Structure 1
Amino acid sequence: MRISARTQYALGAMLALAVADAPVHAERIAVTQEIPRRFCDNILLQLRRAGLVRSRRGPDGGYWLARPAGEIALADVIRVTEGVEPAARPFSAAAAPLTAIWDRLRNHETTLLSEITLADVVANGRTEQEVR
């Protein structure tokens, strides 16, 4: 699986919102997650249109998660930024058995990314910080 910079930035932005206790301005997300500002704005707009984040304008505004972090899977974010990956073209001849292996691999990826939520990642990060 290839993860684009856009998806990495989107996941970073979503995790920044997951740990926040109030709306976060796009500028703050861009700076703390090291995302180019215009790119950050575009990603947040895409996430808002997909219903993963909400926003409000003004000094008390910003972005926040549309659902609790425990209800947003990594797969949800990846689907927004990467789209749904088309089925692999079947292999032919001697390589034909690889088709089933590729399907299993993709199903495994999808299942794993659907099981891991933003809350899981945040909790894992806190646990790792405590160990250090």
Structure 2
Amino acid sequence: MRVSTKSDYALRALIEMATRQDGRPVSAEELGRLQEIPRGFLQAILADLRRAGVVLAQRGQAGGWRLARPADTVSVADVIRAVDGPLVSVYGLRPEAVSYNGSAEVLQHVWIAARRSLREVFEEVSIQQLADGALPEAITSRTDDDDAWQPH
């Protein structure tokens, strides 16, 4: 799986929002500065997140962006889907919509298994857990093995 720049930037911006103790909105300029995200790109990402109901925009002097719901109810999967679409797609289609002929039919099972594996990680991690730096044991246990850190 390739994590897009959009997903990475979206997650970083949301973590920044979730770490704010006062819950007040934060400007896109400040988010961009703190996380080194280009402003124009960030504005487009925030618009995607707003359409998905993840963030709210507040206008005015004290305006900016804030989470639309508690950070512990927003998963990494929610964010990726909001800015990039389905977790797994095969030439633009969801795995269950792909069809193959003959001996290649087994490929569909691989794509669906990959999606399930991604869900097992991305749906278990919330923005709040990321902001707190406290990942669930089911996630941290996956990084305990040295092989997890090795490129293949």
Match in the other structure for 1:31: 33
Task: Report how many residues are paired.
Answer: 126
Instruction: Quote the Cα distance in structure 2 between the aligned partners of 1:119 and 1:8.
Output: 16
Match in the other structure for 2:77: 75
Distance apart, 1:114 and its partner CA: 0.9
Match in the other structure for 1:87: 95
Name the SS of the counterpart of 1:64 in structure 2.
strand
Q: What letter is aligned with 2:75?
A: A
Unpaired segments of 5 or more residues in structure 1? 126-132
Name the SS of the counterpart of 2:62 in structure 1.
coil
Distance apart, 1:106 and its partner CA: 1.3
Higher RCO (CA 8 Å, separation ≥ 6 residues): 1
Q: What letter is aligned with 1:104?
A: A
Runs of 4+ with deviation above 6 angstroms? none
Distance apart, 1:29 and its partner CA: 0.4
Name the SS of the counterpart of 1:115 in structure 2.
coil
Superimposed CA distance per residue, residues 82-104 of structure 1 (whole angstroms, 9 cap, x where no aligned partner): 11232174566666544423321
Superimposed CA distance per residue, residues 20-73 of structure 1 (whole angstroms, 9 cap, x where no aligned partner): 132101100011111111111111111112110011112211111001110000
TM-score by length of 1: 0.83
Identity %: 38
